[in-house]
Amino acid sequence: MSVTLDPHSLLPSCHSKSFYKGLSWTLAYNMNDFHNLTEALKTARIAADAAATIHCEHAGTIEPEEASSKGRADFVSITDFEAQKASIQIIKNVYPQHTIISEELPDNPQRLDSLDGPAWIIDPLDGTTNYLHGHPMHCSSIAFSMDAVVVIGAVSCGPTGEKWWAAKNQGAWKNNKPIHVSNVQQFDRSLIGTGFPFKKESLIEKYVHQLERVLKTSGGVRRGGSAALDLCYLAEGRFDGFWELYLDPWDFAAGQLIVQEAGGFVSRIETDTLPLDSGTVLGANSQTMAQRLKNVIR
């Protein structure tokens, strides 16, 4: 497969006066040619930007107590559903026959690592708790896979106007500029991103011990509350490594490709592969740094 990346911004950020006002644009793409990754990349970026713009439009209008709870510290708001609706409509306008998996849909398959054919994997609002409290670390995440292999990823952060995207074997980009992971290889100089296993309270004690070891051996640890953004930060060199004990596929599908295309490495903690299934996620700027992080937390 080959793709010619479009170097131009597809939708303006929330800071622009002309940002998204409704699903009224026309998408004149060849609906049958999903082997052309250029069209899939355009669609993913438009869908991610539209969702992020809805985040901005709704910002400050929803109180934390108004959100519904899916579980302990796991919230969903009307913004999640509106962003999901917008991104799915954009994708279906272009690829009506493709499989769509999105975090807030009720009938997602149990496992995604055996998906056949083309599929879209959506997190319409990653970092909902941050969003509800006005914290800017939240985003939309759109991935496109062929036979359970992610080949397109797009992440859009409305509050900052930052947009990351990648196509398999074509590199990773942020706001029209190519990005690359950092060169840091000394673990005691590294900055490591992480996430708390709030969906699996049984993992908290294990995680706390891991966090203690990383704090004592690395240059620092940061927890932002959005795995998709954490992975993008790793891809552009803000982080040198990242780990989390439990993520769903929509949390990491787009970000893991962006890291790989930026020259980084992603896998399970317990293996050297990362299937599209819920579980651990570990990334680093190189396989060597990944192994150093694994050695610390295992």
For 49-113, give the DSSP string. HHHHHHHHHHTTSS-GGGSEEEETTEEE-HHHHHHHHHHHHHHHHH-TTSEEEETT-TT--S-ST
Last residue of a domain, one of 147, 178, 209: 178
167, 92: one domain: yes
Q: What was the pLDDT predicted at 14?
A: 54
Full residue range of the structural domain in which residue 125 is found: 37-178
Check whether 179 has a pLDDT greater than 60: yes
The tens digit of pLDDT for each residue in 46-69 reads 999 999 999 999 988 888 777 676
pTM summary value: 0.87
Mean of all residue pLDDT scores within the chain: 87
Rounded distance between C-alpha atoms, residue 49 and residue 18, angstroms: 13
Last residue of a domain, one of 178, 209, 237: 178
Tokens for 240?
């040198």
In a 10 Å sphere around its CB, with 0-12 CB exposed, 13-18 middle and 19+ buried, how is residue 68 labelled? exposed
Give me the number of domains the chain comprises: 2
Check whether 99 has a pLDDT greater than 50: yes
52, 148: one domain: yes
Rounded distance between C-alpha atoms, residue 241 and residue 282, angstroms: 8
275, 244: one domain: yes
49 assigned to some structural domain: yes
Last residue of a domain, one of 131, 149, 178: 178
Check whether 73 has a pLDDT greater than 70: no
